[in-house]
Structure 1
Amino acid sequence: MSAPLWITATPATPNGELHVGHLAGPYVAADVLRRFLRADGHPVRLTGGLADHESAVELCALKQGRKAEEVADGYGEAITVDWRRAGVEFDRVVRPGQDQGYREFVTSLFGRLHADGVLVARTRLLPYCGPCERALYGKYVRGGCPSCGAQADGSLCRTCARPNDCGDLLGPVCVLCDTPATLRQCRRLYLPLEAHRKELAEYWDSVPMPPRLAAFRDGLAHDGLPDVAVSHPAQWGITVPVEGFEDQRIAPAVEAVAGYLLSAGQESAEAGPLQFFGIDRAAFHLAVLPALVLASGGPLPSGFQVNEYYRLGGRKLSTTERHAVWALDVLTDAGSDTLRRHVLSDRPEGRPTEFRLDELDGTRSHLHATWNAWLGRLFAALREDCAGLSPEERPGGAGWDVLRDRLDFSARELRSSYGESGFAPRRAVALLDEVVRLADDFHQVNAHQRDHRSDRSGYRAVLAAELAIACALTAWAWPVMPEGAERLAGALGVTAGGPVTAGALAGPAPGVRLAPPTGPVFGF
């Protein structure tokens, strides 16, 4: 058996529910790859997590008059439910507030890294808000990015994705009260990435990465690898286990590495993961995580799948700013098939894309007018001409040989688009639509065969051919729209989620009683 593949999707911050940008970015795409590989018989794991101790969680709690633990637990549960409703199936989700031994593991990891000299003390300027009597870091502070000038928070810039050290922000302002911040000396613990340049450069040379990420890497390396703060003067989070820093909390970046190491498989043959994440997390995945993993002896990531931003009204979707379309609302209204297909066909690969509700409605209408309309016509014909049973005849009809060749080609192209090396979910959606169009054209062209009273067997052969295509879709469409693929498989009496191959073009055994659903097959 081939070595297991480990896939990770960046941890979600439980300061709100999932929005469609999260699903358009790492989560649905990672699940598509997992489903394809597992159906193909390849051992694969998908892991993720929740970033309970991000500053955004405590900030949300302060604004809502709640405890940070309540916010993290409540939204954490909502996020896991949204994942399930969207068909995103994790093999493991690291949950800091629930996983036994999590805090001890994080504390131990941090202590070892400090003892080994990987984490060192530095005195730097840190914004401070007098009225709030609070040191400002992460989401508590905003200002101009020192690299590009765009508005950034006290960790990184969402425009250029460059990290910052809070005190470098231009014109820092407290997010809680809008008061301009003052700068104070603060001694914190840091990960000096420049000390790991040689090891990082060797790693970067060994791992493939998309052009967008490679360009970011080159810019980061050219300008000098930064010192990254790994502790903050705060109350929310895990206490730093280092003498003199007991009033500080471990930065979420270190917790993310701990979650990564906790999720690493025990199988010796398992390589490092293929990581799915948004471009704003580039510095962490390219530099911070590899540096700490190298120091800890864990497996390094083996590849990257990076998405750009999904926008709404020209602005990046944001949970913190409540500028979002919530996944639960769309899932309730349109269903997982419609949402998954839409965000995959519009996935921000290589460039940002814009979410529009009217275009989501267009996706739902498209499924009804093409996929469901063809299947409806097919099931009606089978009921009228075959008594609702699968035909005895072998697939045939005018143009079937040519169509079969085209479908064989589609299967090969789908395998390429679903596979790790050529992963392109936008292409996969287009190919699936083409298969349905070909099937419907075949149905329409051969519909006149039904009028040949002397050759009703020929018409049943046409229906047998269409049934074979429908059966293929229970496998070919399963990575993209698993809910509809399961409904279709139930109607045909087959099992959904088989390998994406031309061999899936095989209808039910002759005489099988078909059970078409009373409602739509794909979407609702």
Structure 2
Amino acid sequence: MNKKAIITSALPYANGEIHLGHVASTYLPADVTTRFLKQNGVEAYYVCASDDFGTPILIQSEKEGKTPAEYVAHWNKRDYEDFSAFNIDFDYFYKTSSPENIEFVQDVFKKLNDAGHIYEQEIIQFYCNNDKKFLPDRYVKGSCPYCKAEDQYSDLCESCGRVPEEIIDPKCSLCNQPPTKEKTTHYFFKLKNFGEQLSKWLDENEHLQKDVKKYVQNWIKSGLIDWDITRDITWGVPVPIDGVKDKVFYGWFDNHLAYISTALKFLNDKGINGKEFWNSADIYHFIGKDIVYHHYLFLPAMRLGINSEYKLPDYIPTRGHLTLQAKKISKSRNWYIGLKQFLEYYPADYLRFYLVSINPYSQDDLNFDWDDFTTRINSELIGNLGNFVNRALGFTKKAFDGKIPDPGDFDEKDSEVEQKIKSLASDVGALMEQNHLDRALKKIMEFSSYFNQYFQHKEPWKKGPGTATCVYLSVNAVRSLAIAAFPFIPESAKNIWTQLALDGKINEQSWNSMSDLGISSGHILGDASPLFARVEESDIEKYKKQLGPSE
């Protein structure tokens, strides 16, 4: 395992609140992975930034009577607060409108231009006579020329994931009128020149998902098109060419460069050489499946275009979209649950546990279902893990005044459970390294279930032979569970650690130490109390009714 890592997630757009769909595929898996890497002694940093530029922000800020800078500052702060409440533990959260990112983007552009990868071309662009403006991508909707899906943006088909060369039957998304076409001059990046290098990088990178690689390779084979990297608006990173006015870089040109500029700012401020660290670390970019084209083609091609001055990603964990009650999430139809809203109902760990449980390492979509959430929290988190921890610690407090007894000789069953503890770190760790976070969590829950059965089988409440050994091993298993569960449900893991009254902080325990028998006889436990409260079906019915159109 590389002892250095930089982890990023697709940047949240500073134009509205974070909802469950945002955190499921990118931020939560990235956070869980970062915590795991740190437990393994990796110098890992999770950096992110708000994505501050683009026409939607320009228009929305006008509507609210704010400058774009004031508008994005509000959402940058709010997003960070919501993420923090959900225990997404960024090492640094910055913004694409930072002076450092603007300077970095302009510098990359100059290098690409000097290397001959940029050209200027007069193009015909959609213009809305009604709204009197050129229409950047998100303001033109129509049908995808590839898969014929309707109601798609002109810069990305959410149905097939491709970037359309020209949308069919275009309409202005502001007024729904068909736009006219007017001449303007834009700058283009020669993406089609990078097909061979991109293909080689995809072939050689063993960490990328095979199914994603396969269809990206097919895109390359079918022919890449050069990429229009400028837009005719005022809110964005200005194009650094003399005489060019009211022309900025397309958001997708600048926003993933913020992965690098944000990491450099953070590391350099810490007194670490950011560039050296970046190039010697494992680089992770966590994304949803809708932005594969950008992260597997645009992003690596730009880095190749500046001679890999900053290394290409090692991992691009790509996951599907979250649906809600089996329907597509839609803010406009009130078919979504804001993260802040959810955390007013239940602790962050309930949502973290549930979302990881249902989220495979694949591009399959996952579904948040209130009834399934209720079942999994009550039967698995509470009925299995919470139950075992409470039984083991509660019984020790009651029968032994909280003092861990001397274990006797191990019988065959005791030796078997000791082996379960000793193999837990490697069993779960192997799945974590492969990004199968759902399977890793399942393995932890199987461990808890196994110990519930062991406790039941030994019947320590009968005070027969082997009682002390059962208590000694069970309390040690609780300690193992706390360390293993920490990346997934950090607050609950801290609570378990406090109840165990162990020295140090839970986040400072090494991953492999979960497989030690780390609690000796004579150790005295803290107070034992239930970790979780049941989810009540009456509450769930109330939350279901809040979805959709209000009557």
- TM-score of the alignment, normalized to the shorter chain, above 0.5: yes
Distance change >3 Å, CA 321–CA 200, structure 1 → 2: farther
Residue of structure 2 equivalent to 1:480:
488
Aligned residue pairs total: 515
Percent of matched pairs sharing the same residue: 21
- Give the stretch that moved more between structures: 374-383 or 23-32: 374-383
1:65-112 Cα distance to aligned partner (Å, 9 max, x none): 544323311121121122222222222333134x44332333333333
1:435 paired with 2:447, answer yes
Match of 1:389 among 403, 408, 411: 403
Q: What displacement does 1:358 show? A: 2.3
Query: Does the residue aligned with 1:506 lie in a helix, a strand or coil?
Result: coil
Query: What residue number does 1:467 align with?
Result: 475
> Is residue 2:254 matched to residue 1:242?
no
Give the conservation status (yes or no) of the 8 Å contact 1:395–1:462. no
Q: Is the 8 A contact 2:192 2:223 kept in 1?
A: yes
Distance 1:212 1:9 in 2: 20
Q: Distance in 1 between matches of 2:105 and 2:347?
A: 38
- Structure 1: runs of 5 or more not aligned: none
SS class of match (2:511) = coil
Residue equivalent to 1:423: 435
Q: Is the 8 A contact 1:488 1:521 kept in 2?
A: no
Q: Give yes or no for contact 1:2–1:43 (8 Å, CA) kept in 2.
A: no
Pick one of 386, 402, 426 that aligns with 1:412: 426
Q: State the shift of 1:359 in Å.
A: 2.1
Query: How big is the shift at 1:502?
Result: 6.8
- 2:36 corresponds to which residue? 36
Q: CA 1:496–1:42 in structure 2 vs 1: closer, same or farther (change >3 Å)? A: same
| 8 Å CA contact retained: 2:188, 2:230 | yes
Correspondence for 1:258: 257
Name the counterpart of 1:135: 134
Structure 1 residues 391-428: Cα deviation after superposition (integer angstroms, max 9, x where no partner): 23368577222223344444322011111xx2201101
Q: Are 2:29 and 1:18 aligned? A: no
> Does structure 2 retain, via aligned residues, the 8 Å contact 1:483–1:522?
no
Contact between 1:378 and 1:463, CA under 8 Å: does it hold in 2? yes
SS at match of 1:380: helix
CA contact (8 A) 2:414 2:469 kept: no
Looking at structure 1, the residues matched to 403 and 56 of structure 2 have their Cα atoms a distance apart, in angstroms, of 57
| Separation in structure 1 between the aligned mates of residue 293 and residue 45 of structure 2, nearest angstrom | 24
Matches of 1:232 and 1:321, distance apart in 2: 30
Give distance in 1, aligned partners of 2:234 and 2:254: 16
- 1:344 and 2:351 matched: no
Q: Supply the distance in 1 between the matched residues of 2:117 and 2:534 (Cα, whole angstroms).
A: 51
Correspondence 1:117-136 to 2 at 5 A: 117-136=116-135
- Which residue number corresponds to residue 267 of structure 1? 276
Tell me the equivalent position of 2:543: none
Specify the alignment match of 2:291 in structure 1. 281
Quickly say closer, same or farther: Cα 1:56–1:354, change in 2 above 3 A.
farther
Q: Is the alpha carbon distance of 1:138 and 1:380 closer, same or farther for their aligned partners in structure 2, counting shifts above 3 Å?
A: same
Structure 2 matches for 1:75-90, cutoff 5 A? 75-90=75-90
1:357 aligns with 2:370: yes
Distance 2:517 2:386 in 1: 20
- Structure 1 segments of 4 or more deviating over 6 A? none
Q: Could you tell me how far apart the structure 2 residues matched to 1:362 and 1:126 are? A: 52
Q: CA deviation at 1:522?
A: 8.8
Q: 1:484 to 1:206 in 2, by over 3 A?
A: same
Letter in 2 for 1:280: D
Q: Check the 8 A contact 2:136/2:231 in 1, yes or no.
A: yes
Measure, in 2, the Cα distance between the counterparts of 1:321 and 1:77: 25
Distance 2:75 2:155 in 1: 22
The answer for the alignment partner of 1:9 in structure 2 is 9
- 1:154-175 Cα offsets, whole Å, 9 max, x none, are 311111111135xx11111112
> How far is the alpha carbon of 1:452 from its aligned partner?
4.2
Counterpart residue number, 2:155: 155
Q: Is the 8 A contact 1:13 1:54 kept in 2?
A: no
Instruction: Assess if the C-alpha contact under 8 Å between 1:371 and 1:522 holds in 2.
Output: no
Alpha-carbon distance between aligned partners in 2 of 1:398 and 1:324, rounded to the nearest angstrom: 52
Is residue 168 of structure 2 the alignment partner of residue 170 of structure 1? Answer: yes
Deviation at 1:315, TM superposition (A): 4.4
Counterpart in 2 of 1:228?
Answer: 227
1:437 Cα shift? 0.7
Inter-partner Cα distance in structure 2 for 1:126 and 1:309 = 31
Partner SS, residue 89 of structure 2 = coil
Which shifted more, 322-331 or 476-485? Answer: 322-331
Question: How far 1:55 moved relative to its partner?
Answer: 3.3
Q: Is the 8 A contact 1:469 1:507 kept in 2?
A: no
5+ residue gaps, structure 2, are 265-273, 536-551
C-alpha distance in 2, partners of 1:520/1:286?
42
Shift of 1:63: 5.4
Q: Is this contact kept in 2: 1:257–1:292, CA < 8 A?
A: no
Q: Secondary structure at the match of 2:46?
A: strand
Verify: 1:500 aligned to 2:499, yes or no. Answer: no
1:64 to partner: Cα distance: 4.9
Matched residues in 2 for 1:370 and 1:388: separation?
22
